[in-house]
Structure formats: C-alpha cells, structure tokens
Amino acid sequence: MITLLKYNAGNILSVQNALNRLGYDSVVTHDKKVLEKAEKVIIPGVGEASSAMEYLKAHELDVLIPKLQQPVLGICLGLQLLCRSSEEGNALCLGVFDSEVVRFPSTEMIPHMGWNNCTELAGTLTKNIPETADFYYVHSFYATRSKHTKSICHYGIPFSATLEKDNFFATQFHPEKSASVGTILLKNFLEL
C-alpha cells in the first residue's frame, strides 16, 4: 500500500486523487508502525517548514523518516523537509539531502508559481521525460544545489528541481498537478 504522511500540511488530497487516477489505493497516516511497513511512502505538502518539523518531532517522525528503507517521495514542502535546514522559520530539517532551503531573492516575483521546465535531467524520477517538459510549481523557498540534485530549475537563480539519494526521492514541483508529464514522473516512482 502507498502510504501518505499525515502532518499539518495541505494538498494531501490532490496526491491521493492522482494516485487514484493511476489505479493505486493509498492510506494517510502518521502512525509509525504503518509507515515502517508501507510499500512506499509519500510526503506531500503545501505548508510552512518550521511548524511541519514541530509536528514531525511531536510524533517522533523526525527520527523515523530518515531511517525508512522503502522508496520515499517528498513533494514540494516534502522535498524541503528532507533537506538539512530551512530558512522558513529557521528549521532544522531531516537531513537526508545535503541541500539547504533558502528564500528566493527579492528580485523575483514570489511565490514562484506556474509551469517551468527542468534541465540537466539525471536520476530515476525524470526517466522518459524531456527537458522541454514543464511542471507546476508553487513555492517561496528553494533547495540549493547539492550532490543529490538530479535536475535543475531556473527562476532568477538555478535550484534543485529533483533530488535523489538511495531510496529517497523528491520534487520541488507538484507532479500531481503537472498534467500528463506529472503522471509519467509519478509512475516512475510508483513502479520502482
């Protein structure tokens, strides 16, 4: 069963809907035992980093998540929580990826909202996806590039669009809101 992490962030329903369209059932939980035994874990989310980390800590998930062995996909805030730290509320995050999460320079319209493409595609998530393909983004903070960066998006500056490390995967954009190309990406994860 695909297990979606329940925490104080929105947008979980959109991901569930996308999984339904692909024929996958899912459960939403913060129960540690269910998460440990899940076939795959998705950390969706639109929300605020420091309050999300507080929620994870209160449920001892800050210790559990980095130790998960099955494929894990972080989406948007989910990606940011898997990084080392976030400037949003000065949060210490889960530290799976080496990137730091910082605010966009004020020269750009914030939030970065709309369709944008990825370049320098590598890794598993973007398999069969061309560099001309656009994904849907909504965010005010971004993950810096690190050795775990597998594709880049440009908005004033280049930042990590996807990150991968061992069984951990993450996208800054919303594949569940990215039409057919988002579906390909979700399938790449679900069929791991």
Partner 1 sequence: MLKKRIIPCLDIKNGRTVKGINFKGLRDAGDPIALAQKYEEEGADELVFLDISATEERRATLLPLVQEIAHHLSIPFTVGGGIQSVRDVSNLLQAGADKVSLNSAAVNNPKLIQELSMAFGRQCIVLAIDSKEIFGKDTVFIHGGKKPTELETLDWARRGIDLGAGELLLTSMDFDGTKKGFDLRLLQKISKALPVPIIASGGAGNTTHFSEVFTKTNVTGALAASIFHFGEIAIPALKQELQQQKIPVRWI
Catalytic residue, chosen from 30, 36, 76, 100, is: 76
Q: How many residues does the chain have?
A: 192
Q: Which residue has the tokens 């929300």?
A: 47
Do 189 and 173 contact (CB within 8 A), yes or no? no
Position 44 contacts partner 1 (CB under 8 A): no
Stretch of residues binding partner 1 (CB under 8 A), selected from 29-37, 54-62, 63-71, 172-180: 172-180
The CA-based angle 148-149-152, given to 5 degrees, is 180
Stretch of residues binding partner 1 (CB under 8 A), selected from 29-37, 56-64, 88-96, 106-114: 106-114
Position 180 contacts partner 1 (CB under 8 A): yes
174 noted as active-site residue: yes
User: What is the distance between the alpha carbons of residues 37 and 13, in angstroms, rounded to a whole number?
Assistant: 22
Among 116, 113, 110, 105, which Cα is nearest to 153's?
116
Nearer to partner 1, 90 or 132 (CB): 132
Residue of 6, 112, 148, 150 that binds partner 1 (CB under 8 A)? 112
Provide the annotated active-site residues. 76, 174, 176
